[in-house]
Amino acid sequence: MDAKRIEIGSQSDLWAVAFAGESQVVGGYAGGDIRRWKIEDGQQGPTMKAGNSVYTLVVSQDGQWIVTGDYGQKAILWNATTHEKVRELTEHRYVVWGVDVSSDGTKIATADWDNVEIFSIPSGDRLLPPLPHDYVSGVKFSPDGTRFATASKTLGFRVYSTNDGNILFESGQGSHVGYWLRTPLAWSPDGQQLFVANKGKIICCDLAKSSSSGWSTHENQSQPSITSNGRFIACAAGPSVSLWDCVSHKQIGGIISHNAQVGCVALSPSGRYLACGNGYNITIHDLRDVLSLEYFNHGLCATQLPLVEMSTKTFQLWMHNDLSQTEMLLSKEISSASSPSHYMLANRALIRARLKHLSPAIEDVKESLQIQRSPIGHIAMAVALLAQGDREAALCTFDLAFHDCEPRDIRFLLLLRVRGAI
């Protein structure tokens, strides 16, 4: 079965694409426009103008910031809500080909074909001296933000310490993995494996063991771009995209083909949507039509409740108000998972809050939000804060749940508000 497609067209060449939560996509265009679109109806929001062609962009996990890199040798920090320019980082010698934002939203990494640089959000202060890496075109923070990886066209890939800029791993000059307008880097959820794309293959580097392995991909003539949600990798090369299991390294689903070269690619936080930039268009694919649920929610099945994903057995125990058994089952699911989903941790936090186990509940929520910012994570935190007696903080946290919700989920959140559940 082919994935359902949504086409978003424009009158300019598209060079970069990223998701803003599950419901919106952002494109960077020739001429300097940054445009934001709703997936549901294709409605365009305000246009931001960088002044030069935008070759790379990223949206912070909390949805607060957008960072772009452009032909004018600038990285620009934007307020994602007001769409106003917050800071211009002009300390680059060449075109800014790569940008990233740390998971906690406090740091920007940039790559400009000559150096990698780290800046503070929102001040723009340089946190490290420029780190030379010739022909560097890609940069990617690890999930916990303590390291970042870079890719060079001629000097392979490296892993640096975010704290002091020391090189922790270097592949050597034999690995030509970077290329302008391509994103060749992705991390495993635990930050122990780095995936690096090259023509015809993906390399998996196990940093803990200082070893690497690789596998062939569907196309070997074009320099690929990859993106991952931690459970699978989408690899774009030429006019097509292939999907790969992060653990088994086996191909999943069929080849997703386009009529034009796929120049950029992105996955929504859950992995449900795949965005492919081809020519003037952004093509959105709903991958639920081609992949099993395990690739989106770690084997959890969808209940009929808004915002909540859990196994059927957990759902049944919860509905019978057997809180202790529900907590035990969730703990078993979490301990047995190679990388627990944010849903699992948020669900256990809600149960623990009801059991008045508030400190463990808050720790669960923090870990859930670190894996992925989500409405259910913010709701769980609000419930835990309310149980602690901090109603003001609970209300402020609950409001964060409105970000990036589907329209039907926003109505559900408003219903919770009206009924005084929070």
User: Which CATH number is 183's domain given?
Assistant: 2.130.10.10
* Tokens 């960088």, located at residue: 50
Same structural domain, 114 and 145: yes
pLDDT of 421 over the 60 cut: no
Q: What's the pLDDT at 302? A: 44
Residue 304: pLDDT band (50, 70, 90) is very low
- Cα–Cα–Cα angle for 339, 228, 52, nearest 5°? 140
Q: What's the pLDDT at 355? A: 94
Q: What's the pLDDT at 331? A: 92
pLDDT of 353 over the 60 cut: yes
Same structural domain, 101 and 201: yes
What's the token pair of residue 344?
């699992």
Surface-to-core class of residue 419, CB atoms within 10 Å of its CB (0-12 exposed, 13-18 middle, 19+ buried): exposed
Pinpoint the alpha helices (H) of 98-171: none
DSSP secondary structure string, 201-254?
A: EEEEEETTTTEEEEEE-S-SSS--EEEE-SSEEEEEETTEEEEEETTT--EEEE
Average pLDDT over residues 340-366: 92
Same structural domain, 323 and 198: no
Q: Lowest mean pLDDT: which of 103-112, 160-169, 337-346? A: 337-346
Same structural domain, 287 and 346: no
Residue 303: pLDDT band (50, 70, 90) is very low
d(CA 239, CA 236): 8
d(CA 378, CA 397): 6
Same structural domain, 179 and 281: yes
Same structural domain, 87 and 180: yes
What integer best gives the mean pLDDT of the chain? 88
What's the token pair of residue 287?
């991958």
Domain closes at, from 239, 270, 291 = 291
d(CA 410, CA 404): 9
Domain closes at, from 259, 291, 323 = 291
Asked whether 20 and 34 are in contact (CB, 8 A), the reply is no
- The residue range of the domain holding 397 is 298-418
Same structural domain, 283 and 308: no
pLDDT of 414 over the 80 cut: no
pLDDT of 298 over the 50 cut: no
pLDDT higher at 402 or 77: 77
Same structural domain, 106 and 195: yes
Q: What's the pLDDT at 179? A: 65
pTM above 0.75, yes or no: no
* φ, ψ dihedrals at 54, nearest 5°: -95, 120
Q: Which of 224, 175, 227 is nearest to 200 (CA)?
A: 224
Cis, peptide link before residue 122, omega less than 30° from 0: yes
* Tokens 């941790």, located at residue: 345
Q: Which of 297, 321, 320 is nearest to 309 (CA)?
A: 297
Same structural domain, 193 and 138: yes
How many domains, the chain? 2
pLDDT of 405 over the 80 cut: no
pLDDT of 150 over the 70 cut: yes
Same structural domain, 316 and 174: no
pLDDT of 394 over the 90 cut: no
Q: What's the pLDDT at 85? A: 97
d(CA 141, CA 104): 11
- pLDDT over 90 for what percent of the chain? 57
Q: Lowest mean pLDDT: which of 9-13, 323-327, 395-399, 403-407? A: 403-407
Same structural domain, 162 and 306: no
Give me the CATH number covering residue 351. 1.25.40.10
Residue 186: pLDDT band (50, 70, 90) is very high
Surface-to-core class of residue 213, CB atoms within 10 Å of its CB (0-12 exposed, 13-18 middle, 19+ buried): exposed
Q: What's the pLDDT at 185? A: 94
Residue 409: pLDDT band (50, 70, 90) is low
Same structural domain, 57 and 149: yes
What's the token pair of residue 292?
């099993």
Domain closes at, from 261, 291, 321 = 291
Q: What is the pLDDT of residues 373-390, one digit of tens each?
A: 888 898 899 999 999 999
Average pLDDT over residues 21-32: 92
Bridge partner list, 286 = 4, 273
Q: What's the pLDDT at 208? A: 86
